[in-house]
A and B are shown apart, each in its own frame.
Chain A
């Protein structure tokens, strides 16, 4: 099995007529994802990549029974788009959009919790279950099917690490980019709980970065609720305080959110922490032998 995503997920693309939306619809279809429809308000009736476009998520749901949505709409309209999917009962919502104000994100995260939708992102590359499906913007070729679950706050760094693993002959069950914003839907903690229950996942790679305390919080359940072996990497060891390192969430403020604090939290619960991204395959082999 995989977590959250397999070849059965029925996908709608919100913002399918935009440049990014149409481009990645094509790539997702090529990968084998069951993308069935698109939504762009005001453009219902046209076709993109051979898929029907509707004005509302409700139509896509009625006519195609979609259960998964990927959102490419600009930040200014993203809140409405996410709320629309939540209200139509979409179970998995992947928010690619960068720059959504946190007040909007906090609101839809609250609503998703109540309605039982899972939100991945915002400001994320999405989710891929290699060999099954991808709902996101990641390059498919860096992944291969296998026993490692990956969860990360980063995009390209995850591709880098996944590729190192793939080149070393170690495949992945599901790879999730949870997003680089200060407020995100699915957390490290949520992802680890899902991987723990997944038969196919034998070990987990967790890729954190400076800012916030998501890494410290997830460390609290490692070794207790989470028994599977984990290898971690934390980016931003040399980041200065008070400067935003690309991601809105990657900022050390008032001495908290440093890489050292996160690395210590992981080491304290027995997690192997890689010094360099390329050390991860060896560490994964090491923990899997144990």
Chain B
């Protein structure tokens, strides 16, 4: 789950990190009165969760109250990659001499947390990594110990900091790591981490993403996480309203499988034969008849889905149980969309017998099932 910049900064501030003075405005009037209170010039920063905000014109400075009014009006009308701007962070404008970069994230390959730092802040870090990989300093961290100040001081030196800035930088790094660990973040970042004209370091921009799998132990974010779903399509929203998680893939063949890898492989098979799946829907292991009914309904209702392919490899999941689920939905919903079922494994004969009762000839081979659903969708 992503947090807005102002939410990330509030958390950082409560951990004693240096943050520019600022407040959040929900309207033009609020923006003007905040600017009056904190004093001009100010920065106006559109609060959105998508990246590329600066390039999209979502960050502006203003030196008069009239400018604050006109710019905030403009920002509230802005759509950044389909995301509406609902609030603006108004901050006192900093006198920035240099921009650094600092981030703490997970290095999947090394299986360790990593701190990344660079003297080339302010730019897109992926671009720095491509053009100047030597300018990114990496520090792998023992997750049982965390960042020690001496490690951060060495990084500070490597990115060209001197004297008291070394101490300030290491203090910031240690505190950011503390946030990373306490909140189960997948990313804590400041880009830029600014050096001001007085030589102070201050977190000019901030990002903080929380790991979804860790939300169970962060009650403070649970409600927010429910509201803050990532960008979704109509089909994904329809499914979600029925309590089903799926990924919209844009095609016409709805795919339900048991297990993530098997479902992905089923979708890849459709592509192999030149068709596109409508969705990725992993029903998981041991799904009950009710769960099957739930998963099927959005695909039955959504008009773009022209045919449905169910691929079940019964291991712990029993084919007869699955067949009973399909039969139940079939009889209750009386839908007419073509349905292809592949059932193989535990109790496969019994499962196939049950499906025959409702006129479905289940396949045992995945290849045959995929070819059949393609025939159905092409109307052959």
Chain A interfacial positions (CB closer than 8 Å to B): 75-76, 99-103, 105-107, 109-111, 137-139, 141-142, 152-160, 163, 180, 182-183, 207, 209-210, 212-214, 217, 233, 235-240, 243-250, 254, 259, 275-278
Contacts and interface: CB of A to CB of B under 8 A. Distances in A.
A157 B242 CA distance: 27
Interface residues of B, number: 51
A236 B267 CA distance: 8
Contacts, number: 158
Contact of B264 (A101, A105, A158, A246): A246
Contact of B258 (A156, A163, A250): A156
Interface string B245-277: 001010000000111111111011111100011
Interface stretch (B3-11, B29-37, B63-71, B211-219): B211-219
Contacts of B313: 156, 159-160, 163
Given A101-B211, A111-B144, A238-B267, A137 B316 contact: yes
A27 to B, nearest CB: 8
B197 to A, nearest CB: 34
B143 A110 contact: yes
B346 A109 contact: no
B109 A213 contact: yes
A233 B265 CA distance: 9
Interface string B298-321: 000000000000000111100000
A103 B184 contact: yes
Contacts of A152: 261
Contact of A277 (B257, B280, B285, B366): B366
B121 interface: no
Interface in B107-125: 108-109, 111-113
B126 interface: yes
13 contacts: A107-B143, A110-B142, A139-B346, A156-B258, A157-B261, A180-B260, A182-B106, A214-B109, A217-B109, A243-B247, A245-B264, A245-B280, A275-B272
Contacts of B268: 235-238, 259, 276
B200 interface: no
Interface in B33-83: none
Contacts of A259: 268
B280 A101 contact: no
B282 interface: yes
A154 B315 contact: no
Contacts of A237: 268, 271
A142 B259 CA distance: 16
Given A139-B346, A182-B106, A183-B106, A245 B260 contact: yes
B261 A106 contact: no
B86 interface: no
A142 B317 CA distance: 13
Interface string B130-148: 0000000000001110000
A155 B108 CA distance: 21
A238 B277 contact: yes
Contacts of B106: 102, 106, 182-183
B111 A154 contact: no
B42 to A, nearest CB: 32
Contact of B214 (A103, A157, A212): A103
Contacts of A160: 262, 265, 313, 366
Given A139-B315, A213-B109, A154 B143 contact: no
Contact of B263 (A142, A182, A212, A246): A246
B350 interface: no
A213 B111 CA distance: 11
Contacts of A209: 260-261, 264
Given A75-B213, A110-B144, A236-B268, A212 B346 contact: no
Contacts of B366: 160, 277-278
Given A110-B142, A139-B346, A278-B367, A157 B271 contact: no
Interface in B338-380: 344-346, 365-367
Nearest to B284: A246
A99 B184 CA distance: 13
Contacts of A182: 106, 108
